[in-house]
Amino acid sequence: MTAPIADTRQAGGPSGADLAGTYGRYNDPAAGSGWVLFAGAMIAIAGCMNVIDGIAAIGNSKIFAGHQEIVVSNLNTWGWIVLVLGVFEICVAVGIWAAKDVARWIGVGIAGLNAIGQLMFASHYPIWSLVIVGLDVLVIYGLLVHGRASALE
């Protein structure tokens, strides 16, 4: 015969329901809103940086070495690609802040592709690349773990 399980109310301690009422529930939708805000802000910042880089590449700025051949094409073509990507990232960030589910999943994809892309620069800029990969992991975490709760509000 096994011993009966003690009811915490009879034993004098607070129940789980009492603690949840006092300290808040674990599945509180507002608990992860900061993560979603952070993820949207990081994607918006990446978008703004890509817009600036794209304009600089299109305008033959002195930031980039002239007449460089890139895997895709030349610097001007790459500048247009990066510019369009930056505008798209800014639109996705606005969608994340508006709690759109599609924007959240696109944001996860963008952050994942950016992390992979940053690993290609690791041999030239190791610390910067690892910092950006870490930020991308945090963005993915915020969108996957807490993004659904903000979309349900």
pLDDT of residue 28: 60
pLDDT of residue 88: 92
> Which of 120-129 are b and which e, b meaning 16 or more Cβ less than 10 Å from the residue's Cβ?
eeeeeeeeeb
Query: Does 49 fall in a domain?
Result: yes
In the predicted model, is pLDDT for residue 24 greater than 60?
Answer: no
Q: Extract the tokens encoding 46.
A: 């990446």
pLDDT of residue 66: 54
Q: How far apart are CA 115 and CA 29, in angstroms?
A: 28
Which segments of the chain does DSSP mark as H helices, in order? 8-11, 16-23, 33-58, 75-97, 101-120, 126-141, 147-152
The interaxial angle of helices 101-120 and 33-58, nearest 10 deg, is 60
Query: Does 74 fall in a domain?
Result: yes
Q: Contact, 146 vs 33, CB < 8 A?
A: yes
Mean per-residue pLDDT over the chain, rounded: 78
Query: Does 6 fall in a domain?
Result: no
Q: What mean pLDDT comes out for the span 2-15?
A: 58
Q: What is the number of domains present in the chain?
A: 1
Q: What mean pLDDT comes out for the span 18-37?
A: 69
Q: How far apart are CA 18 and CA 24, in angstroms?
A: 10
Query: Residue 102 is part of which domain span?
Result: 33-152
Centre a 10 Å sphere on the Cβ of residue 1 and count the other Cβ atoms it contains.
3
Query: Does 121 fall in a domain?
Result: yes
Q: What mean pLDDT comes out for the span 63-82?
A: 66
| pTM listed for this prediction | 0.70
Query: Does 20 fall in a domain?
Result: no
Q: What mean pLDDT comes out for the span 24-49?
A: 80
Query: Does 94 fall in a domain?
Result: yes
pLDDT of residue 91: 95
